[in-house]
């Protein structure tokens, strides 16, 4: 057979397949979400996210230990406050759940990298991501409280803040406030292209942050739009974002790729709760091989161009990388 080009030559054995991998992964690129519940003592499994737990302030250290044991050295924190109000004021309380969690973690594990989610939806009694004016979220009024919240996280010792609210102008507002208070070296990870997605369902159940009325389509992006993501990223980059995020991950690989090609900032992807819960459910039903689907999904996100991945599988993926099954 006269076949000069035989792609199978590079697939003949494990050694050469590994030699030729185009996508390399490292536990350094994985970020693990940790839920801290102010009203909880100990750790409690989360019904909507099998394998994940809520942690009380007394045992956030346990969550960190579990990360470190797997080689994961960075987390993103989400808080469940004891009280909520119309303005989400527990979000910027110096003694709020996140502020206390950050202090506790950084005191015990100064090298563990702590990113905080900056949003109001877990802290407002109506569950929307900002201050309401009638039934809509008032953009400009919300900026001020987001900036206050981000500042309180930085003051508590957060290494990086990650606004996830999708208000216009919030990166500039947060950057300005952080700089004014001497936190010019605290990076901002912007949830820049965050879609109004049904994939957040299990998270909202876990965080108690589902909107009491309406939905988030007035501020999060329409899934039909790809170019609009570039506009959002360009704005956030111009306002001083250090890292751009695309969220969810698997259904938006085209957006990840487009952002990675267009911008010279790192692109972070968030493999969200619904992505995780679907794999767990299909695996529990005996329909898929959970480990292999987990690995393949994560590889695809990095192949698309992501530089970091936030995932509920961070610990298991770090192990898979160490074993050489991926990366
Ligand atoms: C807060 C926030 C959400 C998620 C991250 N930050 C929920 C939402 O926007 O409704 C979703 C994460 C996930 O589904 O895993 N605004």
pLDDT, one tens digit per residue, over 244-254 is 999 999 999 99
The rounded Å distance from CA 219 to ligand 1 centre is 13
According to the model, what pLDDT value does residue 148 have? 98
In ligand 1, which atom is closest to the CA atom of 199?
Answer: 14
Ligand 1 binding site (Cβ under 6 Å of any ligand atom) = 117, 119, 121, 129, 164, 200, 203-204, 209, 216, 272-273
According to the model, what pLDDT value does residue 296 have? 98
Q: What is the rounded CA–CA span in Å between residue 248 and residue 243?
A: 16
Q: What is the rounded CA–CA span in Å between residue 136 and residue 315?
A: 39
Mean pLDDT of 139-146: 97
Mean pLDDT of 301-309: 98
Mutate to test the pocket of ligand 1, among 164, 166, 167 (most ligand atoms within 8 A of CB): 164
Q: What is the rounded CA–CA span in Å between residue 65 and residue 105?
A: 10
According to the model, what pLDDT value does residue 8 have? 97
149-201: per-residue pLDDT in tens? 999 999 999 999 999 999 999 999 999 999 999 999 999 999 999 999 999 99
Is 323 a residue of the active site? no
Q: Where are the beta strands (DSSP E) in 8-58?
A: 30-37, 43-45, 53-56
- Residue among 247, 280, 315, 322 flagged as catalytic: 247
According to the model, what pLDDT value does residue 182 have? 98
Q: Which domains does the chain have, with CATH numbers?
A: 24-323 (3.20.20.70)
According to the model, what pLDDT value does residue 174 have? 98
166-178: per-residue pLDDT in tens? 999 999 999 999 9
Is 194 a residue of the active site? yes
Q: What is the rounded CA–CA span in Å between residue 317 and residue 176?
A: 36
Mean pLDDT of 304-323: 98
According to the model, what pLDDT value does residue 57 have? 98
Q: 297 near 271, Cβ under 8 Å?
A: yes
According to the model, what pLDDT value does residue 147 have? 98
According to the model, what pLDDT value does residue 88 have? 96
- With bands split at pLDDT 50, 70 and 90, how would you rate the model's confidence at 303? very high
pTM to 2 decimal places: 0.98
């Amino acid at each position: 057979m006269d076949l000069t080009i035989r792609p199978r030559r590079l697939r003949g054995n494990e050694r050469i397949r590994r030699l030729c991998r185009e996508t390399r992964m490292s536990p350094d690129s994985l970020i693990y979400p940790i839920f801290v519940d102010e009203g909880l003592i100990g750790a409690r499994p989360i019904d909507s996210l099998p394998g994940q737990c809520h942690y009380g302030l007394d045992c956030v250290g346990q969550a960190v230990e579990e990360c470190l044991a797997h080689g994961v050295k960075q987390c993103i924190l989400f808080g469940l406050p004891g009280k909520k109000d119309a303005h989400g004021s527990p979000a910027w309380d110096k003694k709020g759940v996140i502020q206390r969690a950050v202090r506790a973690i950084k005191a015990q594990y100064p090298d563990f990298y702590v990113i905080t989610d900056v949003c109001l939806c877990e802290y407002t009694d109506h569950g929307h991501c900002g201050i309401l004016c009638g039934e809509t979220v008032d953009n400009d009024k919300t900026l001020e409280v987001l900036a206050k919240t981000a500042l309180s996280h930085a003051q508590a010792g957060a290494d990086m803040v990650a606004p996830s609210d999708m208000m216009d102008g919030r990166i500039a507002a947060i950057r300005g406030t952080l700089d004014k208070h001497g936190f010019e070296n605290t990076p901002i990870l912007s949830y820049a292209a965050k879609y109004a997605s049904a994939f957040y369902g299990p998270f909202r159940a876990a965080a108690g942050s589902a909107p009491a009325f309406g939905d988030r389509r007035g501020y999060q992006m329409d899934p039909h739009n790809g170019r609009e993501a570039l506009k959002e990223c360009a704005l956030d980059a111009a306002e001083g974002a250090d890292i751009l995020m695309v969220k969810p991950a698997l259904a938006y690989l085209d957006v990840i790729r487009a952002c990675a090609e267009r911008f010279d900032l790192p692109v972070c992807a968030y493999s969200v709760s619904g992505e995780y819960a679907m794999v767990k459910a299909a695996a529990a039903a005996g329909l898929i091989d959970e480990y292999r689907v987990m690995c393949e999904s994560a590889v695809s996100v990095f192949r698309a161009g992501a530089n970091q991945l936030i995932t509920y599988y961070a610990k298991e993926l770090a192990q898979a990388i160490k074993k050489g099954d991926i990366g």
